[in-house]
Homo-oligomer: A and B are copies of this chain.
Amino acid sequence: MGDAALTKERILEAALCEFAEHGLAGARVDRLAGRAGCNKQLIYEYFGSKERLFDATIQATSERLAVEVPFDPADLAGHAVALYDFMIEHPEAARLVRWHALERPGVAGSAPWLVQRNRHLVGAITEAQRLGTVAADLSARMLLVFVIALVQTNEDERLVNRGKPIPHPEKRRALRTAVRLLSTPSEQRPEPPRST
């Protein structure tokens, strides 16, 4: 990797911390430059603007997530749990996604890579539904939206659980159960008990 590539990578790492902590509006490019150990001018030269650096940070984080969290449409529950584990290990990624939702709502092209990846995942789920390995109660796109939503419940948990987060093992187990309930084809669901 050349010097420029290394510097860009260092800037993206610093940007992830800075944006996760303060969001897009609250982030300061000079503080970010301090974290990255480079000068502010270089950041503008490489990334153009704070907004474009934010979008580049979303993309870098998404690409890393895609590598570390494999996707198998036949095991959506396993995917959800892996996604959850990633978010627990990388709380800054979870925060970044939330800031993005608040500060770049509907900004066309603010996350093209992620949109493209999700398009691919929806295609894979649609195919699995056609083959009958995934339930078709929900459309493929709504199923993916819901899986993503179930993973990211952090702060709602506190509001429900008397101000405390729900213990990871309980959340993990519940996540697996919930995604199974949403995605297991009815003929594979455990048979209900019969009243006699």
Cross-chain contact of A182 among B98, B158, B182, B189 (Cβ < 8 A) = B182
A144 at the interface (CB under 8 A from B): yes
Cross-chain contact of A186 among B144, B152, B193 (Cβ < 8 A) = B193
Residues of chain B contacted by A196 (CB below 8 angstroms): none
Range of interface residues on A (Cβ < 8 Å): 35 or more
Q: So how many copies of this chain end up in the complex?
A: 2
Cross-chain contact of A155 among B100, B118, B138 (Cβ < 8 A) = B100
Stretch at the interface among A30-38, A49-57, A162-170: A162-170
23 residue pairs A–B, Cβ–Cβ below 8 Å = A22-B25, A23-B23, A23-B25, A98-B98, A99-B102, A101-B156, A105-B155, A106-B165, A108-B163, A109-B163, A115-B159, A118-B159, A119-B162, A138-B174, A138-B178, A139-B170, A139-B174, A142-B166, A149-B149, A149-B150, A186-B192, A186-B193, A189-B192
